[in-house]
Each structure stands twice: as C-alpha cells, then as structure tokens.
Amino acid sequence: MTKHMLLTETEAPCSTVDEKYPAKWIRLPARGHCPYTGLSRAAYYQLITANKIRTASLRRPGTLRGTRLIWLPSIMAYLDRFATDVVAE
C-alpha cells in the first residue's frame, strides 16, 4: 500500500459489530469461493449492489480501479438472518 491507500482499523466502525466475529475487513476472492463464507465473487457483488453488506473501495485519486473490501461482521450478520435452528431429537 502506498501512503494514499491507507486503511486503519478502528475500535467500532459501525453499530452492527457482533462479538462473535472478528472485526476486520476482507478482500473479495480472486477466484473460487471466500474462505470465511463460501460465497463467490459474483454473490458478493450481488449483495453489494443490493446494499445488503458494508463495503469500502480503496483507490488512488484520479484512478478508475481500486480494491473492494468487505466488513466481515456485516456479511456474517446478513448470513445469520438466514440460519435456522436445528432441533435435536
């Protein structure tokens, strides 16, 4: 990273921080599936377009391309909404 592309971690960047998941930014998978969630790059972009998860784009001033980062607690909180409890017999 250059001095123009600096990302610093904060204590609590949003109020949706869940203590179960590490508070960190992750990169989109280059190919295949994400090791944290199992989602593909295309699935992440669908969630980003629908404003379902928190993201940040790092890029130098004047450039078109940058690095897209995902706030891990936001994606995990989104996935937790679809989790079902399994009742043991």
Per-residue pLDDT reduced to its tens digit, 1-41: 444 444 433 333 444 445 666 789 999 999 999 999 999 99
Residue-averaged pLDDT of the chain:
80
Prediction pTM value: 0.68
Say which residues have a Cβ less than 8 Å from residue 72's Cβ, sequence separation at least 6. 21, 22, 23, 24, 25, 26, 36
Name which residue leads in pLDDT, 11 or 84. 84
| Mutual angle of helices 72-80 and 41-49, in 10-degree steps | 90
If pLDDT is split at 50, 70 and 90, which confidence band does 45 have? very high
